[in-house]
Chains A and B, each alone.
Chain A
Amino acid sequence: MSQRNIIEAINNAIDEEMKRDPRVMVLGLDVGKLGGVFRATSGLLDKHGPERVVDTPLAEASIVGASLGLAISGMVPVAEIQFLGFTAQGFHQIGPQLAKYRARSRGRYHCQVTIRAPFGGGITSPEFHSDAVEAQFVQSPGIKIVMPSNAYDAKGLLLEAIRDPDPVLYCEPDRLYRLGRMEVPDEDYTVPFGKAAVIREGDDITLVAWSAAVELCTRAADQLAAEGISATVVDLRTLVPFDVETLVGAVAKTGRCVVVHEAPLSAGFGAEVVATLANEAFYDLDAPIARVCAYDVPYPAGSFEAWYLPSVERVVAAARSTASR
């Protein structure tokens, strides 16, 4: 057992899996000597050599498209797209190609490909670097969407992703990369997909989130507790598969719910959460479900970021209002 932050947990997971499985390789921009712009692949080039840790040309579509071909050849690629917002330049290779290849070949081929992509706001990065576009991929059946929020899950979910025979989009909360350390086992373990985590139990309201918004909800829950409102926090962990059972169970218990995400409000995955609860937890609800999300405007420059993103204050206000209805 070691204390690790998220970036160290990710690095450890890839390193261990490359030792265990000679088919695993890493490719992307700057993943070699630099170790990635966030250093997630730091040291892997020296440990595993230039055939397995490969700096590619700056071209997202071919990073993903070549990963598909590499997988069919028998390799297990772990591709890095430097920022999730840059998947726009390769989207056609993710949704229409990678996600559908098993179906398009009627099962003759499958794509054991993991795409890692840092994302999210709060670090005043330049344009397109922070966009939380995870919901766009939910409309591409065939790919799994994984959103770790802490170092333990980051390692376990990444090992699960790399070993999954189907493609996985693994979105990393860059704001949390080095926020703190927690106990992360040195040994091999996986966190299964489609199992949401109830990371805090309360009686009055359920806060639902994934990725960096989980950290926000935890802080909001602390504040709410000081006000006498006890909150459950559910971390969905994966959007595809979507753990409806845990979600419905948690919301049924408190009767009230706030969904929090960094993506814009309209048609964000929060809409799916709310629609699902309306259908499956209708008679357990004591108040309308609230959503605290980014606004339906383009991701702004860093100086506007704090106004655009959901904040602890907004989550607390929404929870307070929902709890009192």
Chain B
Amino acid sequence: MTAVITKHSILNPDGTLVKGAKPKVGDELLLEMLRWMLMSRIYDERAIALQRQGKYGVFSPALGQEASVVGSAMALDPARDWIVPQYRELMAVVRHGYPLERVAANGMGRISDASRIPDGVNVLPNQVALAAQLPHATGLAWGLKLQKKDSVVMTYVGDGGSSEGDFHEALNLAGVMRAPVVFFLQNNQWAISTPSRRQTATPSFALRAAGYGFPGVTVDGNDVLAVYEVATEAVQRARAGDGPTLIESLTYRMSFHNTTDNPSLYEDPKEREEAKRRDPIERVIKHLAKRGLWGSEIDRETRASVRAEIDAALERAATFPAAEPGQLFEHVYAELPERVRKQRAEFLGES
């Protein structure tokens, strides 16, 4: 059986519009998307540099996946919608309201109540037990629906994470409950060193949606306009009560898995070169330039303002409270059981 997969795309890699495509995104919104994508790219560069200097923990960049991350997140309304992340969607949660300085403080090991997700920001913690976040997203969406809230949950997973049992259980339950959730699968072609063809024998991850009774969509994940459109459609579907959507965003991880990884051991350099020709940021810049909306001056100004914003966030992050021994015992229970209280007292030298 060969399935027909239609890949949604609007912008060609050279910045021209795909024949017949009519973008629904206005210029102002597109410029905002580009700025967020630049934030993601430049923050990645800064965080990697800081990690190399021993000032930042293990870091997983979103390099190459900026259109996926930004285009999907911008389809959400932070006031009522929720993000249940995996871990490679940093600017999605920042755009949703988790301040960059807090995210950076966590990255620097300055983890405390000051760096946690603020009250009122509808974001769940990062998840590295892959796909474990998906049942949470389904439950959250189901609960919001039970309470007649007008909210949608967007959750992220990768091509690797899709092989986990939780992927199946979460999507199946979401289909049965018609939960208002969007499963955004970033197929970045790699699970650390394992290529996506090792995760499935089918030609597409989006096909799996058929088994759960809801639509599966494939989109060019390096095309922010296309990602935004399919994500917006999925969010509207969920909000209208029509249930979940699985979006497979075809992209490419243009960097290492994380700062401990060495892709030269497994990645064909030609693949990376080919991916660079499909760079999600360059594509938007070329498109805007062709239309006279981008040039060297605005490029310089935007990058400078993004850098200044990131620098300010990093500076503030460095002043966040450093780790304290007593924090080990915080937030384990609402009230520490007696036995653990004693351990705490012993550890802190009280008695």
Contacts and interface: CB of A to CB of B under 8 A. Distances in A.
Given A69-B140, A106-B116, A244-B339, A142 B165 contact: no
A244 to B, nearest CB: 6
Contact of B330 (A101, A106, A108, A240): A106
Interface string A102-120: 1111111110000000000
Given A72-B136, A103-B331, A109-B124, A97 B129 contact: yes
A36 B137 CA distance: 26
Contact of A57 (B144, B149, B169, B334): B169
A72 B140 contact: yes
A274 interface: no
A56 B143 contact: no
A164 B139 CA distance: 19
B112 interface: yes
A248 to B, nearest CB: 12
Given A59-B169, A62-B172, A92-B129, A72 B124 contact: yes
Q: Which residue of B143, B166, B170 has the most chain A CB atoms within 10 A of its CB atom? A: B143
A126 B118 CA distance: 48
Contact of A105 (B112, B125, B139): B125
B185 interface: no
B contact face: mostly helix, strand, loop, or mixed? helix
Contacts of B116: 105-108
Given A62-B169, A64-B135, A93-B135, A102 B143 contact: no
Nearest to B328: A103
A203 to B, nearest CB: 28
Interface string A140-164: 0110100000000000000000001
Interface string A193-214: 0100000000000000000000
A67 B149 CA distance: 18
Given A75-B143, A141-B332, A65 B166 contact: yes
Interface residues of B, number: 43
Nearest to B166: A61
A106 B176 contact: no
Interface in B127-149: 129, 132, 134-144, 146-147, 149
B34 interface: no
A107 B140 contact: no
Contacts of A109: 124-125
B250 interface: no
A241 B337 contact: yes
A77 B172 CA distance: 19
A96 B139 contact: no
Interface string A164-208: 111000000000000000000000000000100000000000000
A298 interface: no
B330 A194 contact: no
A75 B134 CA distance: 18
A245 B342 CA distance: 12
Contacts of A74: 143, 147
A72 B143 CA distance: 8
A66 interface: yes
Given A107-B116, A164-B334, A165-B334, 6 more contacts: A62-B166, A66-B139, A93-B166, A102-B334, A107-B113, A144-B333
8 contacts: A62-B169, A69-B139, A71-B139, A72-B139, A73-B141, A73-B149, A241-B338, A245-B338
